[in-house]
Every structure is written in structure tokens, then in C-alpha cells.
Amino acid sequence: MRKRVFSSKRKRQARTLMAALGMTAALLFAGCGVDESDAYYQGMQALEKKDYSGALEKFQSAVDGGRDAEGYRGIGIADMYLGKYEEASEAFAKSLNDVRYPKLNKDFIEDVLFYQAQAYLELEKYDDAATIYNQLLDGKHQGQAYLLRGKIYAIQNKFGQAGQDFQKAVSLNPSYEFYLEIYEIYVKNNRQADGAVFLQEAQEIKPSTGEDNFQLGRISYELKEYDKAEGYLRKAVASGSSGAVQLLGKVYMDAGEKDKAKELYQQCITDNTAPGAGYNGLALCEMEKGDYDSALKYVTRGLSEKDSREELLFNEIVIYEHQSDFVTAAEKMKRFLAAYPTNEAAIRENKFLESRVKETQGTAKAVIGSSQSDPSGDASTGEGQNAADSGNDTQGQQQDFTDNDGDGIPDDEWSSDGTFFNGETQEEFGNGYDSSDW
């Protein structure tokens, strides 16, 4: 069976469809002060920082200290993020077994059951997952249980039963996220028309927040109603949604309205609503033109902002790939995967990079071998093979730069290392990340 990982997209879906980290904190710490020296609390902090190995250590300490149910639950979550689903399912089973006073901890039990079912889904143990969802149909989160059981039916090509569960799910929880998730399930199974019916139903829900406008923009985009999408997304951009910036820019770029896209990106920088997303968009425009030096400058500038770091850092890797600097790209990807170990696209891209680096090293050895037989040494100087050794890699420290052209972008190329991005929507080497990961 092909090993799968708890990708960024599935993590986001899990946060929407299950009671994820926020629910955990509410369950375990409501009504009492948080002891920051507590091992379980430290484990949760490590999870938020994506330090999954560190989280495992803290949660094990919590178990050793007598907090078995919570500790095993935390271990299971960390294992999920690390793609260790068998271990995760076992940890969740131990958590459930160690719950004291089950009648007083129904919310906690329901939460763990959702996670355990998700682990079974990842392991393709659909009957085991369905058994849990059947049990959860009587719980507080009935809508989630119906949606996820419907997903299993769809996987098993039982679309009649899936449709019934989906209708029940949105009747219980008529949220944009549910409708979009149902649509994605249908699309994955080549039944886009069936999914579109749910999106059209979702359009009847009136928006009340910037996030609602973003979701309606997503829905209109999927339905190819681009004028509607633009209207909703502009409202979402005004509220500071970086995701809306990326999607609206994509709407313009797809329509060939590149000037509108650039104007949007520049406005986000000027207004400081989503400056990182703005710089990322400008970088994408330059990448499309093939001007990777300018694109890298925009990425670098964007990394000084707080938003859209993941997109920017992945695009930095893509730029180095386009410049055939596979060694630098591979080094940055290595750090990317250290921060985002379960990112499926990054894992795939890393395999490509590893193969290119090996080819580069093999070619270099061949050239060196031939130069050793040539006393002049003209065949290879040994310089410039690894850009990371040339002083461009600042280890996350920003260097001083000049800006003679007044565009706010450093004239000298310099690279800012750090933390990394979710590349699951990178269509192929060369396209960059345009945040289709809505």
C-alpha cells in the first residue's frame, strides 16, 4: 500500500471537519489556569510550532506523569502529522482505554474518535473508520460524522448513499467549508456536476464576514463564475485575507489581465493589508515572464513580512530550480521538509531535486577527473557549484541592501532562509505556488 502523509490540505480539512487543536485546549484547560511547566501543555505548544518530534517527547512525559488519556491523544496527533498512521491509531486506542469517568468526558472521547477514524481513513481501513462514524452519528458533531461517512461511501463508489449523507451533513451544518469539501470529494471521483449542485446551494448562504466572502469567492471560482468571484474576493481582500489576494490574482492572470493582477498585488503592499501575498504575486508575475532574478528579489522582500511565508519560501525553491541551481534548491528544500515533514508536494519535489543533485555531482566528478589529466586545470575551477557556499545563504539573517531604483526591492540579490511552505498545489516544476491551496 502506498504510504500517504497527512498533507497540509488534509490537515486543514481535519481542522474544519474535526475538533482539532482549538478544541483540545478548550477541553483540557477550560476553567483552570494553565501550568506552562506541564508536559502536556508543552506538547501542545510544540505541535503548534510544528515540532512533532519534540511534541512526542512531551506527550510521553505526560503519560509517564499519569496523564494517560491526554498524553496518548497528543502522541496520536503528532504521529498523524508525521505520517505514522498505524502508531497513531494505536495511541488513540490507548487514549480511549485510559479515559476515567467516560460519562463526564464525552466531548473528549468524541474528539479522539474523530482522530482515530481519520487515522483509519489514511490507512484505507474504511470499514473501521465507518464503524466509528456510525457511533458518532449520535454525538455533538453529527454533521461531521455524516460528511465523513459519506466520503467513505464515495471512495467505495456508493454515490447514492454518499449523496444522502452529504445532504444530511449540510442540513445539520450548512457551512461553506462543508459544501466545498463535498464538492472536492465529487471532483476527485470525476463527478464534478454532482458536486456543483452543492456549490450552487452554498451560494444561497449570505456572507457576514471577510472569510465568508473568501469562501464564496472560492465557490464562484470553481463554478467558473469569474465576475461573481471577483466581487466576493475584492471584499475579502479589503478585510485582509491573503488567500483572497492569491485567488483574485489568479482570476486576473487566468483572464489574461496581468496589469490588474499587478495592481492588486501592489495595492496589498501599499495598504499593508497582505504585503507578503502582494510580493508573492509580483514574484509569480516575474516568474511567468522568465525573469527569475527579479522574482527572487520580490520573494526576498516578501519574506520580511508576516503573511504568506509558506508560499514565498516554496517559490524561492522553485526559482532556484529554474536557475538550474539544484544544490541550493535542495538545501532549502531540506530545511523546508524539516519544518513541514508531511507536505506531499514537497516530498515529491524533493525526490526530483535529489536526482538532479546526484546528476550534477556525477557530472562534476567526471569533469574533475578529466581535469586531473589536464595539467592546465581549465576543465573545472571548482567554484560556483554550490551557491549555498558562496555567501548568499544568510541562515535567516537579513543583510543590508541598496535600493537605487526606489522600488522597495533590494538591488543586490540575497537570500533569506527560514521556515517553509505548503507546495501541494504546485502543478509541476516551473509554475510556482499560486495559492490554489484554498
Q: 89 or 366: whose pLDDT is higher?
A: 89
- Find out whether 357 and 345 touch, Cβ atoms under 8 Å: no
**Is pTM, for the whole model, over 0.85?**
no
* More confidently predicted of 382 and 212: 212
Cell of 45: 505548544
What is the C-alpha to C-alpha distance for residues 130 and 382, in angstroms, rounded to an integer? Answer: 59
In sequence order, what are the residues at sequence separation of 6 or more whose Cβ sits closer than 8 angstroms to the Cβ of residue 366?
Answer: none
Q: Do the domain assignments include residue 79?
A: yes
Mean pLDDT of 6-30: 44
Say which residues have a Cβ less than 8 Å from residue 121's Cβ, sequence separation at least 6. 129, 148, 151, 152
Instruction: Give residue 231's pLDDT.
Output: 97
Pair (217, 278) in one structural domain: no
DSSP class of 389: G
255: in domain: yes
The pLDDT value given to residue 283? 97
Reported as a pLDDT band with limits 50, 70 and 90, residue 368 is low
- Look at residue 252 and tell me whether its pLDDT is greater than 70: yes
Higher per-residue pLDDT: 137 or 370: 137
Which residues make Cβ contacts (< 8 Å) with residue 166, sequence separation at least 6?
146, 147, 150, 182, 185, 198
What pLDDT band is residue 37 in, cutting at 50, 70 and 90?
low
Give 231's contacts (C-beta < 8 A, 6+ positions apart).
none
Based on the fold, state whether residues 257 and 279 are members of the same structural domain.
no
Is 243's pLDDT higher than 90? no
My answer on whether 6 and 80 are in the same domain is yes
Q: 385 in a domain, yes or no?
A: no
Distance CA 14, CA 153 (A): 18
| Residue 398 DSSP code | P
Closest CA to 132 of 154, 99, 110: 110
Together in a domain, 214 and 83: no
Domain interval for residue 135: 1-24+37-140
The span from the CA of 64 to the CA of 58, in Å, is 10
Q: Check pLDDT > 60 for residue 78.
A: yes
Question: Do 235 and 357 reside in the same domain of the chain?
Answer: no
Yes or no: say if 182 and 195 are a contact pair by the CB < 8 Å rule.
yes
Q: Name which of 401-405, 420-424, 427-431 the model is least confident about.
A: 420-424
- More confident position, 185 or 401: 185
Lowest mean pLDDT among 199-203, 280-284, 341-345, 417-421: 417-421
User: Among 58-67, 348-357, 381-390, whose mean pLDDT is lowest?
Assistant: 381-390
- Domain final residue, candidates 140, 156, 181: 140
Average pLDDT in the chain: 80
Whether 116 and 241 share a structural domain: no
In sequence order, the β-bridge partners of residue 415 are 393
Would the pLDDT of 85 be above 60? yes
Contact criterion met (CB below 8 Å) for 19 and 28? no
Share of the chain above pLDDT 90, in %: 62
What value does the mean pLDDT take over residues 60-72?
96
Q: Which amino acid is residue 268, in one-letter code?
A: C
12 and 93 in a single domain? The answer is yes
In this structure, what C-alpha cell is assigned to residue 25?
A: 485546549
Check whether residue 76 and residue 219 sit in a common domain. no
CATH number at residue 216: 1.25.40.10
Give the number of C-alpha atoms closer than 13 A to the C-alpha of residue 393, restricted to the C-beta side: 17
Least confident range from 66-70, 150-154, 400-404: namely 400-404
| pLDDT of the residue at 352 | 87
- Collapsing DSSP to helix, strand or coil, 393 comes out as strand
Single residue among 112, 140, 168 that ends a domain in this structure: 140
pLDDT at 135 over 60: yes
For residue 328, tell me if it sits in a domain: yes
State the average pLDDT over residues 145-158.
98
Cell of 347: 516530498
Q: Are residues 354 and 249 in the same domain?
A: no
Cα separation, 405 vs 408, in Å, equals 8
- Whether 436 has a pLDDT exceeding 50, the answer reads no
Identify the weakest region by mean pLDDT among 151-165, 215-229, 283-297, 343-357. Answer: 343-357
Q: Are residues 110 and 74 in the same domain?
A: yes
Mean pLDDT of 46-57: 93
- Determine, yes or no, domain membership for 191: no
Contacts of 71 (CB under 8 A, 6+ apart): 39, 40, 43, 59, 60, 61, 62, 63, 64, 65, 95
Mean pLDDT confidence for 333-358: 83
**pLDDT-derived band of residue 349, with 50, 70 and 90 as boundaries?**
confident
- Is 289 inside a domain boundary? yes
Residues 421 and 394 in one domain: yes
Residue at 278 is within a domain: yes
Domain identity same for 12 and 128: yes
pLDDT band, residue 413 (cuts 50/70/90): very low
The candidate with the shortest Cα–Cα distance to 432, out of 284, 250, 257, 251, is 284
Is the pLDDT score of 126 beyond 80? Answer: yes
Query: Nearest 5°: phi and psi at 332?
Result: -70, -35
Residue 20 has pLDDT above 50, yes or no: no
- The per-residue pLDDT for 36 is 53
| Residue 399 pLDDT level (bands cut at 50, 70, 90) | very low
- Residue 100 burial (CB < 10 Å; 0-12/13-18/19+)? exposed
Q: 198 in a domain, yes or no? A: no
Domain boundary among 83, 110, 140: 140
- Number of independent structural domains in the chain: 3
Going from the C-alpha of 189 to that of each of 118, 155, 196, the distances in angstroms are 19, 8, 13
